[in-house]
Structure 1
Amino acid sequence: MKSLAAAVVAICVVGCTSHRAVSYQKLEQVQVGDYQCANADQYIAEVQQQLKYKGLIGKNPEDLNEADRQYNSRARVIIWSLRIGCNNPGFILK
């Protein structure tokens, strides 16, 4: 996917209708950049919702299995890239 906006729509369509988290492969395809900063709060909320569907909110990463650890890690990278990057114009995460 070329933008987080498309990924968030896909995440919401899959996640919101079935209450199931998107796969790690889909999450791994998400790219973020400063062009999403206007809607960063919405994107962050969608990714956090995916973590909630996976049951990863409030979990200690060291207590997770490898697949959940990778999923949690990638979701957190997306969240923090938006939080930090939106205050540093010109960033992009692939």
Structure 2
Amino acid sequence: MTYDPNLQRPVDAQTDREPKMAQSSGGGSGFLIAGILIAALVIGGYYYLNGSSTMDAPTPPAPTTQAPATPAPAPTTPAPSNN
């Protein structure tokens, strides 16, 4: 004969348990999102407020007055054949 632990329990010992609600954890992700947004606003504000309205780009280099070198003339004698 095998041992069955359920046969050894009294019938009235089982109580109805109420379901437990899982508690949510803290709002750590909310702080992370807020930090990212604040950093983006600070960086964007820095570039927006420090942008100058003057055109102070460097001037392009002056064009050279020398023309490019002329190509070498074609040879007057034909190339030797390999037959």
TM class by smaller structure? under 0.3
Q: Larger % of strand: which? A: 1
TM-score (norm 2): 0.22
Which structure carries more relative contact order (alpha carbon 8 Å, separation 6+)?
Answer: 1
TM-score (norm 1): 0.19
Q: Larger % of helix: which? A: 1
Which protein shows a greater Rg?
Answer: 2
